[in-house]
Copies of this chain bind each other. A is one copy, B any other.
Amino acid sequence: MVIINLARRAHNHNWELDPITRSLLDTDFYKLLMLQFIWKHFPKTRASFSFINRSAQVRLADMIDVDQLREQLEQTRRLRFHKSELIWLAGNTFYGRRGIFEPAFLEWLECDFRLSDYELSTHDGQISLTFHGLWTETTLWEIYILSTINELRTRAALKDLSELELDILYARAKTRLWEKMARLRGVPCLRVSDFGTRRRHSFLWQEYVVNAMTDVLGQNFTGTSNTYLAYKHDLEAIGTNAHELPMALAAMAGDDEELKASQYRLLDLWQQTYQGELLILLPDTFGTTQFLRDAPDWVANWTGQRADSKDPFVAGDEYIAWLDEHGRDPKQKLFIASDSLDVDEILALHAYFAGTLRNGAAPSDFHQATDFLDEKKWSLERRIRFSAGWGTLLTNDFRNCNPRGDDAFDPASLVCKLNDADGRPAVKLSDNFRKALGPQDEVERYRRVFGLEGMAEIPVVT
């Protein structure tokens, strides 16, 4: 006899909404660190964010029901931080330190935090979505909206598949995940963390991936940027800060001189806020080369650097040379790569920075985990501590997994960016000319102030 759970079945048949964001902790950890920073220093600053689909060929509004998106956003706005979540934020150690969140901030999170209003519409097959309000009310929207839109797109594509096809889709994705993990398993001193919340296939898939990485990689899996998964599964929450901070401080600068100095003023404010912890540089907002060249010497005291838009082999070498110039030991510093990584590049970067290549072997030779066990090819003489922040291709690699053979599950390049702070437009140059964001005249002003040194893809004017 098979006993049916009648209550469960009736409940399942009457679902009105299957929420995507079920906890306000379901966001990147750095958003919470930055929220505390904003709450402390810029509580009255207004800031707007916009959703941007960089994969223009993916006509999101044709795939996703905008009414469902609105229901999800309304559901997210009704969420509050749970008591047990706030107790965890207060009592857990982050980067080895307890009490990283102030009691007053946690009380504000519990009693006064809210998410801003938004404007949602569709135009020519695309979703238009902006968030206006206090910076403290708009900043957290970024991750919720990205994971929500990605998952709604996933759900829409899943709807077209039969039960067998669904099973095969996940069987293939699991098979691929396993092959990737098998190549990373056993590589000495490797450090990999999950940075894939915003581009994930779905919450449940990210949870599966994070649990699998924990099981298979053990100590080599250093944690997840997803605060809720860290909370739920006793993992390290990973991340420090992002481009929105230098972008906002630059926007609010009074003149070109203040603009140039704003990138260091932010570092000063940040290290005051976190008392010497969480000191990871993100130098590419307006170009890494000018950032390092013109930085005050105390910047070299920071723990490490995250490279997000420059070729990471080049960015790491540049950082090591700069540390040498400033008399700091690179072996004690941390270099983090986080831009479109996959297994091959993670292994090659690890070999390049954490080991010394012998016999003139190229980094690209280090594509097999077994190479790392071959003492003839390399040795563990590290140049700098290296860590990989693995995003989209960890939590959303469904390429060629769809039994229907189409690209409905391929990841799309979705972002949510700061538009303005205190009414002044925000700009990001990055280390790649094509990745610049902001009004064209402001981008040009920034390029005059910061220069173009070390940037890629600069158009050739003949």
Question: Are A168 and B172 CB-contacts (below 8 A) given A3-B7, A3-B8, A5-B8?
Answer: no
A164 contacts B211, CB within 8 Å?
A: yes
A interface: dominant SS: helix
Q: Does A175 contact B (CB under 8 A)?
A: yes
**CB 8 Å contact bits of A388-405 with B (1 = contact, 0 = none):** 000000000000000100
Instruction: Tell me the bound Cα distance from A170 to B215 in angstroms.
Output: 18
Q: Does A243 contact B (CB under 8 A)?
A: no
Q: Does A414 contact B (CB under 8 A)?
A: no
Question: Are A164 and B3 CB-contacts (below 8 A) given A172-B178, A175-B175, A178-B172?
Answer: no
List chain B residues, Cβ under 8 A from A172: 171, 175, 178
In the complex, what's the smallest C-beta–C-beta distance from A190 to chain B, in angstroms? 19
Closest partner residue, chain B, to A174 (CB atom): B171
Instruction: Tell me the bound Cα distance from A182 to B402 in angstroms.
Output: 12
List chain B residues, Cβ under 8 A from A7: 3
How many residues of chain A get a CB closer than 8 Å to chain B's CBs? 21
Instruction: Tell me the bound Cα distance from A172 to B170 in angstroms.
Output: 10
Q: Does A279 contact B (CB under 8 A)?
A: no
Instruction: Tell me the bound Cα distance from A286 to B170 in angstroms.
Output: 48
Closest partner residue, chain B, to A4 (CB atom): B5
Instruction: Tell me the bound Cα distance from A212 to B3 in angstroms.
Output: 26
List chain B residues, Cβ under 8 A from A164: 211-212, 215-216
In the complex, what's the smallest C-beta–C-beta distance from A111 to chain B, in angstroms? 26
List chain B residues, Cβ under 8 A from A215: 162, 164
**CB 8 Å contact bits of A180-194 with B (1 = contact, 0 = none):** 001000000000000
Instruction: Tell me the bound Cα distance from A11 to B2 in angstroms.
Output: 11
User: Can you show 9 pairs from A to B with CB atoms below 8 A apart?
Assistant: A3-B5, A5-B5, A164-B211, A164-B215, A164-B216, A167-B174, A168-B175, A168-B178, A171-B171
Q: Which 3 A-B pairs have CB atoms at the shortest separation, nearest pair first?
A: A171-B174, A171-B171, A5-B5
